[in-house]
A and B are shown apart, each in its own frame.
Chain A
Amino acid sequence: MNKFAVLQLSGCAGCEVSLLNADAWVDRYKLVYMPLVISAYDVPQVDTLLVSGGVRNDEDLYNLRRAVRRTKHVVAVGTCAISGGVASLGDRDAVRQLFLAEEGRRHVPRLLPRCHPVDAFVEVDRYLPGCPPTPELFMAVLFDSSDFKPSRIVCQECGREKLKDMRPDHLLGFQQGRVLPGICLINQGYLCIGSSTRGGCRAPCPRAGHPCVGCRGPSDALIEKDSAAWMESIGRVFATLTDVPVEEVEAGLRSPQLALFLFQFSDYADGSGIGREGRPPRPKEKML
């Protein structure tokens, strides 16, 4: 039986919890290291290493470098491992100073100046984006994924109908409340970015009435392009479906809630991403 390990760096364990929801691996794959559920203090030789969380402190970096030597394949799992995730919100001038207050401690891992994605330090064979990836996605990355057919974008998995004659002229902001069932959230004035976000999650959020925030990152069409291309793409969708001024859409896209995931769009593409300066775009062939 193939063996796999899960290395959790600085993160929320949501990826691990999602993996536990995918119970079908239990009989088919041997989990040999995952401190959340197994008492084993070292990563043994494995076929596949899943890495979740970002590299936030020196211990994360040490554990990562050590573990990748013992595996054939490295899979970066979740937004934090792929682009630093939510902790990257700390990489702003306004708050960076606050972190210095944490330097008065001993006997704990030292914080790095910022949160780094895994591939800033080691080669990654496969990327599994999502916050967190669904159990179905975990199964597809652990096993042969040839029969897993994700849609190109979240929009195609959402099932809400786009209407030609329901054109809001402003965004609704957060005045969310009850959402009309079955109708595209953009038609209802929500800033949903499922039209440029990678499919494969089966769109749980927009189905439940919450706009897609883009946690799966850019679709294949945008993955090698910069954030301006992505902004234009969203702009075109809103111009087709709404009369919302383009400036309003752009301002909304720059809000932190979306930035939480959206700064990764530029991060995927080129050397502008944190800790990836000068590296080539992440190839779409490696994304699931």
Chain B
Amino acid sequence: MPTLTFPLSRIEGHAQVVIEVQGGKVVSARFQAMEFRGFRYFVQGIPAEQMPVIVPRICGVCSTAHHVAAVKALEDVFEVTPPPLALKIRELLLLGQIVQNQATSLFIFTMPDRLGLASIFALADEDVGEEGALLATRVLRVRKAGTDLITTAGGQFIHPVKAVVGGVTGGVSSEQAAAMRDEIEAALPIACELFDYYWEQSLALRERIGTWGDDAPACYIAAVADTRPNYTGGDIRVMDAGGVVRDVFPARDFRGFLDHEETDYSYAGRTSYRGEVLRANSLARINMAQRMGTPRADEYLMRFREAFGWPAHALLLYDLARGVELVYALERALEILEDPLDGEDTDVGYTPRDGEAYGLVEAPRGPLIHHYVIEGGLIADVEFIIPTVHNVRAIERALRVAAERYVTAERVDMELERAVGRVVRAFDPCIACATH
């Protein structure tokens, strides 16, 4: 049986796609995660209170989400509620992550697919005009606003340290806040221009390939409310393809709704929702949002709805949804930075306890749950419920749709190679997280 293997790039981590073909028919399409470090094993036996510093190392892209999820899990079992100021600083931290991630995914990972390039850093060799020549510098500038937000709110720039059980280690001084506001005010118009350009180039791509990608119905999962998305995690919601919210549940009840299976061809498993294909990440959140709650992001959301309807299912719309969130996160961070963040009331005391701990945040890729079993103050067992894993079945289904489009009895159209890249990148999978 002919087997087509596509190594993947411009995603986080090591993965490949394998498509098996027989007699012109697509037999299977697999998404294989190719690395494994074993966090769920090697954190066993370590003191639970050390998790917030260790788990960011699961992933340097999603480190902030893991940091906050770990702190929230411990707060869950210790029954401690952090003061409002601490929650605000944590929200800022997670907004920084959204800015950094969505800017990276849009402008570094998927922009080259729109422009027919190998990378935005290869521009020196290409004739891309003045717009293109400045691209890399402007992209890195928007991205840096996200990184600097993480540093401001989280202390360290990749693996944050400031969130602690009961709160945060300290506030944000008015000087730091003012400098951060200046940087975001400068980055916001650049982000909007880049997104407008991205939107145009996406329309051109749609013209060229004749599709927005797989738009088969799916259920959507997210842990943000329907306006003014707060990525610090409330309840998990599942919405069906028709836009009806089917279930709302807290993190600790996830097993009643989500089934996880391991596969023998990948170090990441895959999740189903009541047996159905599930989709997480930007499009899930945008489909669930009534409004974003900030002016420019709401304009983009309205434009998105007018162009693509509601709920939107086509695959490449994931990327445009990321742009709406990028603008929102910058605007929302500006709002928070207007408030005084240098107060004294940044944490409350707590008493460590044993038990089952659940911590939830809405990571850039969807709801992230940390589940710890704590015995004698040590981690006895642990589960990391990773949003990329929720998307694996949806990725494989979309790969199959793409393969069926480009494989015939006579030939394989090598547009398939580009289609595979577009499909996978639309979901922005994170392999370091998915395998941990």
Binds A, one of B138-146, B209-217, B314-322, B400-408: B138-146
Which single member of B41, B155, B432 contacts A13 (CB below 8 Å)? B432
Which single member of A10, A56, A181 contacts B170 (CB below 8 Å)? A181
**How many angstroms between the C-alpha atoms of A173 and B164 in the bound complex?**
12
A208-B169 in contact (CB<8A) = yes
A147 at the interface (CB under 8 A from B): no
A221 at the interface (CB under 8 A from B): no
B38-A255 in contact (CB<8A) = no
CB within 8 Å for A208 and B170 given contacts A13-B61, A132-B158: yes
B57-A177 in contact (CB<8A) = no
**How many angstroms between the C-alpha atoms of A179 and B122 in the bound complex?**
46
CB within 8 Å for A108 and B265 given contacts A56-B35, A208-B169: yes
A166 at the interface (CB under 8 A from B): no
Among residues of B, the one whose C-beta sits closest to the C-beta of A85 is: B57
CB within 8 Å for A257 and B47 given contacts A59-B34, A179-B169, A204-B155: yes
Binds A, one of B6-14, B355-363, B390-398: B6-14
Hey, which chain A residues are within 8 Å of B167, CB to CB?
Answer: 177-178
CB within 8 Å for A109 and B265 given contacts A132-B158, A255-B50: no
**How many angstroms between the C-alpha atoms of A175 and B80 in the bound complex?**
13
A177-B136 in contact (CB<8A) = no
Expressed in whole angstroms, the minimum distance between the Cβ of A183 and any Cβ of chain B is 12
Which single member of B45, B60, B109, B352 contacts A95 (CB below 8 Å)? B45
Expressed in whole angstroms, the minimum distance between the Cβ of A99 and any Cβ of chain B is 6
Interface centre among B34, B100, B154 (most CB of A within 10 A): B34
Hey, which chain A residues are within 8 Å of B261, CB to CB?
Answer: none
Residues 41-76 of chain A, each 1 if its beta carbon lies under 8 Å from chain B, else 0: 100000000000000110100000000000000000
B304 at the interface (CB under 8 A from A): no
**How many angstroms between the C-alpha atoms of A175 and B421 in the bound complex?**
47
Residues 127-168 of chain B, each 1 if its beta carbon lies under 8 Å from chain A, else 0: 000000000110011011001000100111111011011110
A163 at the interface (CB under 8 A from B): no
CB within 8 Å for A134 and B157 given contacts A11-B432, A36-B10, A108-B265: yes
A37-B60 in contact (CB<8A) = no
Residues 1-20 of chain B, each 1 if its beta carbon lies under 8 Å from chain A, else 0: 00000011111111000100
**How many angstroms between the C-alpha atoms of A181 and B57 in the bound complex?**
27
Expressed in whole angstroms, the minimum distance between the Cβ of A15 and any Cβ of chain B is 7
A10-B155 in contact (CB<8A) = no
Interface centre among B38, B58, B432 (most CB of A within 10 A): B38
A21-B13 in contact (CB<8A) = no
Binds A, one of B277-285, B333-341, B343-351, B367-375: B343-351
A131 at the interface (CB under 8 A from B): yes
CB within 8 Å for A104 and B144 given contacts A13-B12, A38-B118: no
Hey, which chain A residues are within 8 Å of B347, CB to CB?
Answer: 176-178
Expressed in whole angstroms, the minimum distance between the Cβ of B386 and any Cβ of chain A is 13
Hey, which chain B residues are within 8 Å of A57, CB to CB?
Answer: 35-36
A21-B50 in contact (CB<8A) = no
Hey, which chain A residues are within 8 Å of B10, CB to CB?
Answer: 35-39
A209-B57 in contact (CB<8A) = no
B50-A109 in contact (CB<8A) = no
A13-B60 in contact (CB<8A) = yes
Chain B interface size band reads: 35 or more
B58-A12 in contact (CB<8A) = yes
A272 at the interface (CB under 8 A from B): no
A12-B60 in contact (CB<8A) = yes
B202 at the interface (CB under 8 A from A): no
Hey, which chain B residues are within 8 Å of A85, CB to CB?
Answer: 57
**How many angstroms between the C-alpha atoms of A95 and B37 in the bound complex?**
12
Which single member of A92, A134, A256 contacts B54 (CB below 8 Å)? A256
A90-B41 in contact (CB<8A) = yes
Chain A interface size band reads: 35 or more
Hey, which chain A residues are within 8 Å of B41, CB to CB?
Answer: 90, 95, 98-99
A40 at the interface (CB under 8 A from B): yes
Binds B, one of A23-31, A118-126, A274-282: A23-31
Among residues of A, the one whose C-beta sits closest to the C-beta of B141 is: A23
B155-A205 in contact (CB<8A) = yes
Hey, which chain B residues are within 8 Å of A102, CB to CB?
Answer: 36, 38, 267
B115 at the interface (CB under 8 A from A): no
CB within 8 Å for A174 and B49 given contacts A14-B158, A108-B32, A111-B36: yes
Expressed in whole angstroms, the minimum distance between the Cβ of A12 and any Cβ of chain B is 4
Which single member of A14, A104, A134, A176 contacts B169 (CB below 8 Å)? A176
Which single member of B32, B59, B266, B421 contacts A12 (CB below 8 Å)? B59
Expressed in whole angstroms, the minimum distance between the Cβ of A97 and any Cβ of chain B is 9
**How many angstroms between the C-alpha atoms of A92 and B45 in the bound complex?**
11
Expressed in whole angstroms, the minimum distance between the Cβ of B28 and any Cβ of chain A is 12
B57-A131 in contact (CB<8A) = yes
B104 at the interface (CB under 8 A from A): yes
B178 at the interface (CB under 8 A from A): no
Hey, which chain B residues are within 8 Å of A41, CB to CB?
Answer: 7, 9
A164 at the interface (CB under 8 A from B): no
Interface centre among B32, B35, B58, B352 (most CB of A within 10 A): B35
Expressed in whole angstroms, the minimum distance between the Cβ of B13 and any Cβ of chain A is 7
Which single member of B34, B49, B108, B122 contacts A108 (CB below 8 Å)? B34
Residues 130-167 of chain A, each 1 if its beta carbon lies under 8 Å from chain B, else 0: 01101100000000000000000000000000000000
Chain A interfacial positions (CB closer than 8 Å to B): 8, 10-18, 20-21, 23, 26, 30-31, 35-41, 56-57, 59, 85-87, 89-90, 92, 94-95, 98-99, 102, 104-109, 111, 115, 131-132, 134-135, 173-179, 181, 204-205, 207-210, 213, 255-257, 260
Between-chain CB contacts (< 8 Å), 20 pairs? A13-B61, A17-B100, A17-B147, A26-B136, A36-B12, A37-B10, A37-B108, A37-B120, A40-B118, A41-B9, A86-B57, A95-B45, A106-B265, A108-B36, A131-B158, A174-B352, A176-B347, A209-B162, A256-B45, A257-B54
Q: With A23-B137, A23-B141 given, name 17 new contacts (CB 8 A).
A: A12-B61, A13-B60, A13-B432, A17-B147, A37-B121, A38-B10, A86-B42, A95-B45, A99-B38, A109-B35, A134-B157, A174-B352, A176-B169, A209-B155, A209-B162, A213-B53, A256-B50
Pairs A-B, 3 closest by C-beta atoms = A14-B60, A208-B155, A209-B169
